[in-house]
Amino acid sequence: MRLRPLLVIGGLFAVIALAVVLSSCGGSSSSTSPGTGGGGGGSGPTFDLTFPATGTSRSFTFSTAGSWNYQCSPHGSCCGMTGTVVVNAGATDDSALVTVGPGNTLTFSPSTVTVKPGGIVRWVNASSATNHTATR
Ligand SMILES: [Cu+2]
C-alpha cells in the first residue's frame, strides 16, 4: 500500500527523463544547422555608395570585425567587380583608400583592404563611368 504511490512517481520521473533526453537530442541537432559561412557571423554592415561623377568619393566606417564582401551593382555579377573589407582588431591602419575603376577597368583597387574596428574606408571613382557603386 505504501509502495504503490512511490512506484507511480518513479514511473512518472522515468517518462519525464526520457522525454527530456529525446527533446534535447532533437534540439541540439537542429540548433547547429544554420551556418553563415564564415566571416564574423550575422549579416554584417550594409551600405550602398554611388559615384555619379569622376572624382566622387564616398566613405564608410566599419565598426564590426569580420570580412565583408561588397560589389558594384551593375558590374558585380556580370563582370566580377567585387571587393572585400577586412575589419580586424589586429590591424594597424585606421583607414584605407580604394580606387574605383582605375584605367576604366571594372575593378576595385586594391580589391581587399584591411582596417581595425572603427576604421574608415574611402572609395574614389577614378573612372569615366558614372554608374559604379560599392554595395552590400
Ligand atoms: Cu561598376
Q: Does residue 1 sit within a domain?
A: no
Q: What is the Å distance from ligand 1's center to 107 Cα?
A: 7
7 part of a folded domain: no
Tell whether 72 is covered by a domain: yes
The secondary structure element, H or E, covering residue 60 is strand 57-62
Residues 67, 45: Cα–Cα separation, whole Å = 10
Domain annotation covers residue 98: yes
**Rounded to the nearest whole angstrom, what is the distance from the C-alpha of residue 76 to the centroid of ligand 1?**
7
Question: What is the distance in A from the centroid of ligand 1 to the CA of 131?
Answer: 6
pLDDT digits (tens, 9 = 90+) for 40-85: 456 899 999 999 999 999 999 999 999 999 999 999 999 999 999 9
Q: Specify the residue for cell string 581595425.
A: 116
Ligand 1 center to 35 CA (angstroms):
30
- Domain hosting 69: range is 48-135
**Cα distance between residue 62 and residue 105, in whole Å:** 26
Calculate the alpha carbon distances from 13 to 1, 22, 41, 75 in Å.
Answer: 20, 14, 40, 63
Please indicate, yes or no, if residue 56 is contained in any of the structural domains: yes
Answer whether residue 36 is part of any domain: no
- How many angstroms is it from 135 CA to the middle of ligand 1? 10
**pLDDT one-digit tens code per residue, 82-126:** 999 999 999 999 999 999 999 999 999 999 999 999 999 999 999
- Among 83, 91, 86, smallest CA distance to 49 is for 83
Residue 9 belongs to a domain: no
Could you give the number of structural domains in the chain?
A: 1
Is residue 14 assigned to a domain?
A: no
CA 45 to ligand 1 center in whole angstroms = 20
Q: Identify which has the larger pLDDT, 81 or 1.
A: 81
pLDDT grade for 28, boundaries at 50, 70 and 90: very low
